[in-house]
Amino acid sequence: MSNIPLIDGPRLRPLSGSPAKNLVILLHGYGADGDDLIGLAQYWQSDFPDTAFVAPNAPEPCELSPFGRQWFSLERYDPDLQRRDPAAGAEVFASMIEGAQKAQRVVDQFIAKETEAHSLSLSETILVGFSQGTMVSLYTGLREQVAPAGILGYSGALVGDSKLNEELNCRPPICLIHGEEDEIVPFPALARATKMLTDLNIDVTAHSCPGLGHGIDERGLKIGQSFVKEVFSNI
């Protein structure tokens, strides 16, 4: 029997009432849960009536919150270190690799179960993440044998980039969105991820949101919606 934790969370079936033609998996941030991110699906759902949405709860209780969940520990994470010394960013995110690997196994199992339930493949599935969920979406999605239809990441970072060149298995289109005033995952993480992905010939678009902290604003919602629409139109 596998010792990989089974996860689940809130979901929305296709508005059309028909079997899903594609799937969006939303991975929440540190200290939140699936209920926090399923709101994105509610915002987008009317434009994607044949899409199923699911926002699984991360497998671990959050070490810093009695109610939230975490994909992996951030107990030693210090965003101020990156602001004081931007060059330290690589070291900060490198320290998360072990946690990201563990989360990858959980998410891979969930993806397999969910796509099978809908008779879909990963190539018909978009991974959407916020903050730590973006880290997990990028880490997992880029190492799949079959490329996801796309990866959409809000307020996140690229974890494990030092090994990505040798571990990269696919090149899905990627859209990254980040607030310029992010106090949790500093804004330079966007440029760092974009450069690394571009250097690996991955189709990535990056969008900055002036005045936005660690969150998703109306502009980011619309950019994400357009990305999802474009990706699904190309399947």
Question: What's the angle, vertex CA 27, arms to CA 12 and CA 20, rounded to 5?
Answer: 35
| Distance (Å, whole) CA 23 – CA 53 | 6
Q: Which residues pair with 126 in a beta bridge?
A: 24, 150
Task: Give the C-alpha separation, 83 to 137, whole Å.
Answer: 24
Could you tell me the two tokens for 93?
């995110």
Characterize the bridge pairing of strands 69-70 and 150-154: unpaired
Q: What is the end-to-end Cα distance of the chain in Å, rounded?
A: 35
Strands 60-61 and 69-70: antiparallel
The DSSP symbol for 158 reads -
Q: Are the CB atoms for 200 and 169 separated by under 8 Å? A: no
Q: Which residues are catalytic?
A: 131, 182, 214
Interatomic CA distance for residues 17 and 129, integer angstroms: 26
